[in-house]
Amino acid sequence: MPPPTEPVHYRIRREASGLAARVRDSEGGRWFAANWRGHRWFRLLGYLLAAILALQALIWVTVTRNLPSAETLLSYQPPLPTMVRGVDGQVVYSYARERRVQLRFVDFPKPVIDAYLSAEDKTFWTHGGVDYAGFVGAVVDYVTKFGSGERAKGGSTITQQVAKNILIGNEYSVTRKLKEIILARKIEGVLTKQQILELYLNEIPLGRQSFGVQAAARAYFGKDVGELNLQEAAFLAILPKAPEVYGRAKSAARAIERRNWVLGQMAKNGWADPAAVAAAQAQPLGLIPRRVDSYDPSQGYFMEEVRRQLIAKYGEKAEDGPNSVYAGGLWVRTSIDPQFNKAAQDALRAGLLRYAAGKGWRSPIDHADIADGRWQTALITMNHSVDYQDWRIGIVVDRDGSSATVGFSDGSKGPLTGLPDALKKGDVVAVAPAGNGFAVRTVPEISGGMVVENPHSGRILAMQGGFDPGLGSFNRATQALRQPGSTIKPFVYATALDYGMTPASQVLDGTFCVYQGAALGQKCFRNFDMRGSGGTHTMRWGLEQSRNLMTIRVANDTGMDHVVKTFERVGIGKYEPYLSYALGAGDTTVQQLTNAYAALANNGVQFPSTLIDYVQDRNGKVIWRADNRRCERCNMDQWDGKPMPRLTSRGKQVLDPRTAYQVVHMLEGVVTRGTATRLRDLNLPLFGKTGTTTGPTNVWFAGGSKDFVGAVYIGYDQPRSLGGYAQGGTYAAPIMKDLILATKSRWPRTPFVAPADIRMVKIDRVTGKRVFAGEPTDDPKSAIIWEAFKADTEPPRATRQDELQAQRDALISAIRRASAAQNRHSAPATTNDDVVVEEPPPPAEAPPPQ
């Protein structure tokens, strides 16, 4: 029978006791026991060794175990802002919550380096990471201040500060100090002194949200490090100790005292000429006021849209990935054209102010409860601003009858005049200087959006989403869904042209009703002027004059299922095949409509509308581009004798090029003699279409030239009537005109080019019939015009109706001649007193109509 299983713990104890017995009974064991019992010094040495081992274990558990590796500094990537370039390659914006600029060691001037070494670590070039004399002094200072609440002086070398700032943080404790020392020793074994100093000068926090010397030089003096004089370099060197103290105006005396001490140390160390130091010590601080980076405020809506797209791709913070917007150090090339963008802002603002003129103050920009008296904090938190003339954003601190006080984010206050009756305490308003105080200014309640695009690439050159981006980030150019009204009609007519109609096709401008079923009954459409002309007209005339009834007939005859497919194909929107959508009842955005009109201007080829051309990471590698076509043979060192490599077209043919040209040619008539004649005196080859939605709640204009296409609308954010007088031609078209006037030198004067298979034919503008006699003139109302026809769709020399009419005219003429001849032969003889009156001969027979 096998023995019972021995418990595991009993076996371990038995084997361990056996091992101990063997060790104890060995020669070495007997020697150790004899010395331990017989020699006191041996026991003390044993206790000391045990204490050292215990201390090492304690240090490993509390300090060393979780220390980061110093080798990580070799590949350290500091958080960097994202820099944005415009269409010309110039930096136009940055996304940053901290000021950071990375320089190489060789980029830092020697006086700047010497100033920091004099202030922080004069033995930097000789120590191994720790200044033990300074460390002992820091320990003594810590012991003397223990329990007092005061913070002991650091005693840290620059290497220790690198370890603290980058690897372990700024916790105030003995443990952190030990970690700092251990890491500093390791860092000195991994990095060169120059590399350590480069990290330090780029990463040290120096106040005013600036990290690193270059960012601080710009924040405090508005200079680059290479432009700093001696006293400015010395001032920056005092900031690591207390940046939020020395950088304030109220601490100027303390800052000068500390700065002059640093200058003295530079002279003492032999790093600066004593005479130059004496001159520098006599200088004031010379700090500039705290300010934010100055970028063109007109770019706010464009840059906010770029920011949204970047965050969607790469994330916002460092935790979101290596290419995050606020830490990844991206370089972003955009298509923003500063001239066009500023012109768009000015034009849209002018249009909004024209409409709002005389309507008076309606409501504040915002409101805050300031019963606790913290009005400045409330105003700063709301983060409103306005960049228009001399306007400022303030908050009504108090109101008493006809007097009030306005406060500003910098803490200043002033009397407020021109008070609206509804203005009350806590209202946030726009004001402007007036006399010894400020007067209320009216920010238009109405708003709108505007986009300008290059139709040959889809690159958006300008984008405006309201009166001012400082009043709110809602972008009406991309986020507001609005009914486009009659600006959608060109695509209805484009569908009709695809299905056999021509610009000269006759369409009835009369009442049109449709039965919508038992629930909805019969719906009758009407023109903007509430009536029809009662006759037939050319399709061109219907588009030029924006006739709703003609458009509905065209859509109905073509088929609304075909029409809505065209809308979807050009990117306006996806709608059900209801006739009301042919008049612009569906929702779209300014950006989408602009891109659709770009397809018209580009002979039916449409490019995706883009704001970003490409994105580079911090090392310059392109990680995303809008144009992702590849050309493998384009970078050959030598020609291989094969045909030249060519990139495929990035655009998509969304419309027949002939149809697109026909529509553009008709839309030129809208500018020449239609609803957009306000643009006619620009004397440029322009096309476009106005739009006015039911109410009217929105007014539109879309169009441009062969190189620039734009769209604009204005309306209330909560749609309501603009008033019966508001039309696209009276409010939206002038906005586009202002934009063109501001950039006129860049607009092409060459006309649109017809694609192959288009025939230009002279027709009668009213009847649409082909004519041969006469020539078109520059008169907008010329009876004869050139019209664009697809091959074999142009009017024939004579229609069957014309032939029948000619036959009738010839028959009547023959009858008249025969009757006249018979009358002459049967007439009685006359006397001298009679007067013979002959019937005038019939007119010569006219040639048959051509």
One DSSP character per residue, 806-821 reads: HHHHHHHHHHHHHHHH
Query: Residue 70 burial (CB < 10 Å; 0-12/13-18/19+)?
Result: buried
Q: Can you tell me whether residue 161 is helix, strand or coil?
A: helix
Q: Which of 134, 129, 135, 243 is nearest to 196 (CA)?
A: 129
Q: Which tokens belong to 299?
A: 């770019």
Distance from C-alpha of 301 to C-alpha of 308, rounded to nearest angstrom? 11
| Residue 89 CA to its chain's centroid (Å) | 16
The beta strands (E) that lie in 617-751 are given as 622-625, 652-653, 687-692, 698-704, 709-715
Radius of gyration of the chain (CA): 42
Q: Which tokens belong to 186?
A: 């390791």
Query: What amino acid is encoded at 544 in this protein?
Result: E
Exactly one of 120, 305, 787, 794 is catalytic; name it: 120
Q: In the 8-state DSSP scheme, what is residue 609?
A: -
Give the position of tokens 């990580």: 72
Question: In the chain, what is the straight-line distance between the N-terminal and C-terminal CA atoms, in Å?
Answer: 128
Q: Which of 736, 797, 730 is nearest to 762 (CA)?
A: 797
Q: Which residues pair with 427 in a beta bridge?
A: 367
Is position 120 annotated as part of the catalytic site?
A: yes
- 392-400 and 437-441 beta bridge pairing: unpaired
Distances (CA, A) of 507 to 150, 308, 446, 495, 551: 91, 47, 37, 15, 9
Structural contact between residues 446 and 356, judged by C-beta atoms closer than 8 angstroms: yes
How are the residues of the chain apportioned to helix, strand and coil, as percentages rounded to the nearest 5? 40, 15, 40
Distance from C-alpha of 45 to C-alpha of 56, rounded to nearest angstrom? 16
Distance from C-alpha of 528 to C-alpha of 548, rounded to nearest angstrom? 7
Exactly one of 335, 409, 457, 486 is catalytic; name it: 486
- 698-704 and 687-692 beta bridge pairing: antiparallel
Q: Which of 427, 428, 340, 425 is nearest to 383 (CA)?
A: 428
CB atoms inside a 10 Å sphere around CB 645:
12
Q: Which of 783, 765, 773, 776 is nearest to 849 (CA)?
A: 773
> Containing H/E element for 110?
helix 110-120
Which residues have a catalytic role annotated? 120, 486
